[in-house]
Amino acid sequence: MSAGGLPRDTAASVAQAVLLEGVSKSFRSGKGSRTEALRDVTLSVPEGKFVTLLGPSGCGKTTLLRIVDGLIAPDIGRVEVYGSAPRPGPDIGLVFQSFRLIPWLTAQANVEFALRSLALSRPDRQAQAHEYLGLVGLTGFAQAYPAELSGGMKQRVALARALACEPRILLMDEPFASIDAQTRELMQVELMRLWARRKSAVLFVTHSVDEAIVLSDQIVLLGPRPGRVVESLDVDLDRPRWAYDTRSDARYVELRRYLSARMRDLVLADPQSEFFQREPTSTETAAPENEPTASGR
Ligand SMILES: Nc1ncnc2c1ncn2[C@@H]1O[C@H](COP(=O)(O)OP(=O)(O)OP(=O)(O)O)[C@@H](O)[C@H]1O
Ligand SMILES: [Mg+2]
């Protein structure tokens, strides 16, 4: 798919969990200058699909998630979540890099707190929170406070909290960015396992090419200043991806090489990047001459 073009799925009338058409958004700073965060963004998240926004810092990924969540409105363009204007609520689950747990509540109480907007009795709320803490492997830490948990554990609580409402859409903004590399890989598998149970639509944000490929059905590459869709690629790797060594699959290797080169080019071409116009030092990640073998579009 080229920037600005309608995604293929729209034509095929696949149910869209999220649809953005021609979305632009600018911010005005206190000094009166204007930052164009997003320009003419068109993309969709089909029901049950895992779509990742991949792009360098400042390309508008968080802004885009906040527009889908209904927290901010675009200047122009159409935004629909399951066919309606977006609005925050239990249909949309949010997971952020910074966890955002309530420090004076236990893990169990944090998850229960998220369930308060659902019409559940107190015992049902307790049972559901307990179930989801179990799914992320934290039954033994239900009564611990956030300060008593490691970074990985806190992110598990945040994941349980988002999933416990059984949202139709999960929005995740670099949820594993502040977790060490080993825990991060384990959390990716955990997320895939949890997602495979219900397959809600997911819009996931990351800077990491590897994370994007491992998790996604589709990767939307965003370029910075202004934030725009550069390219969209299908990830044609078998699932479940925890059942084999995905990273050694030839399609993975090719897609990784292609996306790494594209990401690097976007950063080198960005005048506000500290790497602007620097010469690449490695030929290993040089842009391939041909399109990737994974079904790019
Ligand atoms: N509330 C705001 N007021 C002014 N400018 C903003 C605001 N929110 C975002 N911006 C600007 O919009 C641009 C996109 O920001 P955004 O946070 O969406 O990028 P991002 O892709 O999520 O970056 P990162 O990868 O670093 O998290 C940036 O230039 C940022 O400074
Ligand atoms: Mg961000």
Residue 297 pLDDT > 80 = no
Task: Kindly state if the Cβ of 264 falls inside 6 Å of ligand 1.
Answer: no
Which CA distances in Å does 259 have to 11, 55, 219? 26, 10, 10
Q: Give 279 Cα–ligand 1 centroid separation in angstroms.
A: 27
- On the question of pLDDT at 97 being above 70, the answer is yes
Entry pTM: 0.88
State pLDDT tens for residues 203-262: 999 999 999 999 999 999 999 989 999 999 999 999 999 999 999 999 999 999 999 999
Beta-carbon contacts of residue 89 (< 8 Å; ≥ 6 apart): 117
Lowest mean pLDDT among 3-17, 34-48, 161-175, 253-267: 3-17
Atom of ligand 1 nearest to the CA of 29: 4
pLDDT at 12: 46
Determine if ligand 1 sits within 6 Å of the CB of residue 97: no
**Contact between residue 115 and residue 131 where contact means Cβ atoms under 8 Å apart:** no
How many whole angstroms from its chain centre is CA 167?
A: 15
Distance in angstroms (rounded) separating the CA atoms of residues 61 and 44: 14
Q: Which atom, in ligand 1's list, is nearest to the CA of 64?
A: 18
What's the gap in Å between 54 CA and the centre of ligand 1? 14
For ligand 1, what atom is nearest to the CA of residue 225?
29
Task: For ligand 1, pick from 25, 33, 62, 173 the residue to mutate: most ligand atoms within 8 Å of CB.
Answer: 62
Judge whether residue 17 has pLDDT over 60.
Answer: yes
Output the CA 177–ligand 1 centroid distance in Å: 17
With CA atoms as reference, report the closest residue to 132 among 154, 102, 112: 112
Q: Reduced to 3 states, what is the DSSP secondary structure of residue 296?
A: strand
pLDDT confidence tier of residue 14, bands split at 50, 70 and 90 = low
Our mutation pick for probing the ligand 1 site, out of 20, 25, 27, counting the most ligand atoms within 8 A of Cβ, is 27
Give the least confident one: 81-90, 120-129, 255-264: 81-90
Q: For ligand 2, an ion, list residues with CB under 5 A.
A: 62
Tell how strand 201-206 and strand 169-173 pair up.
parallel
Instruction: Check whether 142 has a pLDDT greater than 70.
Output: yes
Confidence at residue 1, expressed as pLDDT on a 0 to 100 scale: 39
User: With a 6 A CB cut-off, is 35 part of the ligand 1 pocket?
Assistant: yes
Pocket lining: 26 vs ligand 1, CB cutoff 6 Å: no
User: Who's near 35: CB < 8 A, 6+ residues apart?
Assistant: 26, 27, 28, 29
Q: Quick check: CB of 29 below 6 Å from ligand 1?
A: yes
Q: Is 62 in the pocket of ligand 1 (CB under 6 A)?
A: yes
Tokens at residue 124, please? 């049902």
Does ligand 1 lie within 6 Å of residue 27's CB atom? Answer: yes
The pLDDT of residue 6 is above 50: no
Which residues fall within 8 angstroms of residue 245, CB to CB, at 6 or more apart? none
pLDDT digit string, tens, across residues 153-186: 999 999 999 999 999 999 999 999 988 898 899 9
40 dihedral zone (left: phi>0; alpha: psi -120 to 50; beta)? left
Whether pLDDT at 45 is above 90:
yes
Q: Say how many C-beta atoms besides its own lie within 10 A of residue 53's C-beta.
A: 26
Q: What is the pLDDT at residue 13?
A: 54
pLDDT for the residue numbered 88: 85
DSSP 8-state secondary structure symbol assigned to residue 251: H
Does CATH number 3.30.43.10 belong to domain 17-24+35-91+168-174+202-272? no
Residue minimizing CA distance to atom 13 of ligand 1: 37
Candidate from 54, 63, 97 with most ligand 1 atoms within 8 A of CB, to mutate: 63
> Phi and psi of 21, rounded to 5°?
-135, 120
pLDDT of residue 80 exceeding 60, the answer is yes
